[in-house]
Amino acid sequence: MYTLYGIKNCDTIKKARRWLEEHQVEYRFHDYRVDGLDSDLLQRFIDALGWEALLNTRGTTWRKLDESLRSTINNAQSAASLMQEMPAIIKRPLLCAPGKPMLLGFNESSYEKFFNEV
């Protein structure tokens, strides 16, 4: 079973969910704001993808942070603390399936490739 992680009102999440539904892929949606994000799960994401990839520095949440706080986010531990406190700052969507590499972000070609290799 696939799990799609993100935040329900995110436009990119909506595109990914629409793609999955159009291609009849069964999945479970995990909303960070509703379902939470425990530190063990976040650490698995960081171990697999790296904190730099997970930290969305292009989004509104990052841009709204004070520059002095942004400058302190320079390693996995500080990034994990920030992501735990503000899950909207995690790049999304994140698609996971047992035994497969995690797929971060969405575009149709990467999803097609991901599911053709299953």
DSSP label at residue 103:
E
CA distance 25 to 113: 14
2: phi then psi, degrees, rounded to nearest 5:
-85, 150
Catalytic residue among 3, 7, 10, 49: 10
Alpha helices in the chain (DSSP H): 11-22, 32-35, 39-49, 51-54, 60-64, 67-70, 76-85, 108-116
Going by C-alpha positions, the residue among 92, 74, 75 that lies closest to residue 37 is 92
Is 10 catalytic? The answer is yes
- Annotated catalytic sites, by residue? 10
